[in-house]
Amino acid sequence: TGHLISAADLSRDDAVLILDTAEEMARVADRPIKKLPTLRGRTVVNLFFEDSTRTRISFEAAEKRLSADVINFTAKGSSVSKGESLKDTAQTLEAMGVDAVVIRHSASGAPFRLATSGWIDAAVINAGDGTHQHPTQALLDAFTMRRRLLGRDAGLGRDLAGRRITLVGDVLHSRVARSNVDLLHTLGADVTLVAPPTLLPVGVETWPCEVSYDLDRVLSKSDAVMMLRVQRERMNAAFFPTEREYSRRYGLDGDRMAKMPGHALVMHPGPMVRGMEITADVADSERCTAVEQVANGVSIRMAVLYLLLGGNEPAVTHTRPTAA
């Protein structure tokens, strides 16, 4: 069984195959009847130990569009509150005949443990683990960039070679940033991180990207600027510049957006903290792809489920998490 644990596990060809398959899946979403019979008779569990809106709902939509049987599990309201372990929870689900587990967990490494422990035989898909990885987010972001920058048909079979992508904000706590840096590097893009020094992780100098502290200098040289959510819930107050200082130096407002090239995208994985990392006028502008990213997430998750469960498996392996 293949798994998808980390964006770092994907080769360039794996990633392009997933992006191309997602374009095929998007054509299904354009039809009046949005369903394929591909996963009929297969059971997928969405195992969410941490809150989610976009990822949980889009996985469920993707599974239903592929005709899978879907079981939704959230830790809140389950026997996890009585002290049941991840192992016992997983084996309870396995006993019900599960083919794939989509897992979100606050602990970095939980999906890796599930995939490699021998507790279950099902395919494991990481839907976000702690500060480690969120591979389907990086894939839907790359899909959005390729479509917008290269074109829907012209992009097929191609990567993002030479495109300049800037990620701004709370890199320290961001699994989205880690997954994006890994995948964008694999796809040939030039990535720059912009963040306050206190919100960069130890060892960032070994990542395959540049680091800058000056957003205004980087904006005019970017094909896409991805704003990261400031994750106050994972943060010790001492880490943080004041909110006003943060917005002034690292927030994207209309004046800053005007410095970007005309074709450049404003991206955000959601949920957005309006007024902190992005102003409402920028979030609501034509250039902001946040809502489009959510729609593309369904196509990407259909592609991943199809390739792992229904089609030819890409060479997706697993890597022990090293972040945080």
Contacts of residue 251, Cβ cutoff 8 Å, sequence gap at least 6: 276, 277, 278, 279
What are the tokens at 139?
């894939």
Contact 133, 175 (CB under 8 A): yes
To the question of whether residue 109 is assigned a binding role by annotation, the answer is: no
Q: Which of residues 97, 151, 261, 271 is near ligand CP by CB under 6 A?
A: 271
To the question of whether residue 133 is assigned a binding role by annotation, the answer is: no
**Separation CA 168–CA 52 (nearest Å):** 22
Q: Which of residues 20, 28, 36, 52 is near ligand CP by CB under 6 A?
A: 52
Segment contacting ligand CP by CB under 6 A, of 29-37, 53-61, 75-83, 115-123:
53-61
Q: Which of residues 55, 89, 144, 299 is near ligand CP by CB under 6 A?
A: 55
When the beta carbons of 38 and 133 are compared against ligand CP, the nearer one is: 133
Q: Is 196 a residue that touches ligand CP (CB under 6 A)?
A: no
Q: Which residue is nearest to ligand CP (CB)?
A: 55
To the question of whether residue 158 is assigned a binding role by annotation, the answer is: no
To the question of whether residue 229 is assigned a binding role by annotation, the answer is: yes
Instruction: Compute the residue count for the chain.
Output: 324
Q: Which of residues 2, 109, 128, 135 is near ligand CP by CB under 6 A?
A: 128
Distance in Å, CB of 268 to ligand CP, minimum: 9
Q: Which of residues 80, 270, 292, 317 is near ligand CP by CB under 6 A?
A: 270
Distance in Å, CB of 305 to ligand CP, minimum: 16
Residues making up the binding site for L-aspartate: 82, 175, 229
